[in-house]
Amino acid sequence: MKFFIRAAAGLLAVISLQAAAQGDASAGLAKSAICAACHGADGNSAVPNWPKLAGQHASYIERQTALIKSGDRPVPEMMGIVAGMSDQDFRDLAAYFSSQTNNGGVADESVAAMGQRIYKAGNADSGVPACMSCHGPAGEGNPLSVFPALAGQHSVYTSKMLKGFRAGENWGEDDSPSSIMNGASAQLTDAEIEAVASYIQGLYLKTE
């Protein structure tokens, strides 16, 4: 009997720890006012230089805010904001923004065909891999691998990020996803970057 009591207590402790590690979307809403100026009240930023957070995987948002706070991902505009935040704040904000709906976007039809080709098949001649191999055929990403959802993201922001990765920017040797992007984007041309970024902007995950 004592064994079962101890086992049950241990199980409850694990469940409690898991619950504590989860974010609270309601608490995140209350904390999100400071984020709204750049990212929008619901995570759909109006300024294309700032990423949309609506619908993004909670694991990705939580990871990126932690990287920014540590200085591994340099985002000067956010350093002062995240400096006083706790891991629980990051979890709550991530839970809130991930629960919102991305409002989508429109691709430039003049480059959509090239963008679709790069996204789905890459460029075998130059060695560029297909974006969908990590980010999914519909831009849904992979939360277990911490690969972000891309569908509906601003093309201006995506283009900026791809050019940064191509130039060798990453978030430290312990952050394999950004290091992977260094290799994936190394041979992209400016035209290919603009095309795939525009395609991604129009690759909206519609929900019923």
Residues 182-199 pLDDT 10s = 999 999 999 999 999 999
Q: What is the pLDDT of residue 11?
A: 41
Count helices and strands in the chain by DSSP H and E runs: 11, 0
Q: 13 or 168, which is more confident?
A: 168
Structure tokens at 207: 């929900």
Neighbours of 176 (CB within 10 A): 13
Nearest in space to 153 (alpha carbons), one of 184, 197, 120? 197
Question: Which superfamily does 109-202 belong to?
Answer: Cytochrome c-like domain (1.10.760.10)
Q: Do domains 23-98 and 109-202 have the same CATH topology?
A: yes
Enter the pTM of the model.
0.88
Instruction: Please give, one letter per residue, the 3-state secondary structure of 138-195.
Output: CCCCECCCCECCCCCCCHHHHHHHHHHHHCCCCCCCCCHHHHHHHHHHCCCCHHHHHH
Rounded CA-CA distance 155/195 in Å is 9
Residue 168 φ then ψ, to 5°: 100, 5
CATH 1.10.760.10 is held by the domain 23-98: yes
pLDDT surpassing 90 at residue 168:
yes
**Where do the domains of the chain lie?**
23-98, 109-202
Rounded CA-CA distance 141/101 in Å is 15
List, for residues 73-119, the tens digit of each pLDDT value: 999 999 999 999 999 999 999 999 999 999 999 999 999 999 999 99
List, for residues 38-67, the tens digit of each pLDDT value: 999 999 999 999 999 999 999 999 999 999
Structure tokens at 186: 């190394």
Nearest in space to 39 (alpha carbons), one of 28, 30, 48? 48
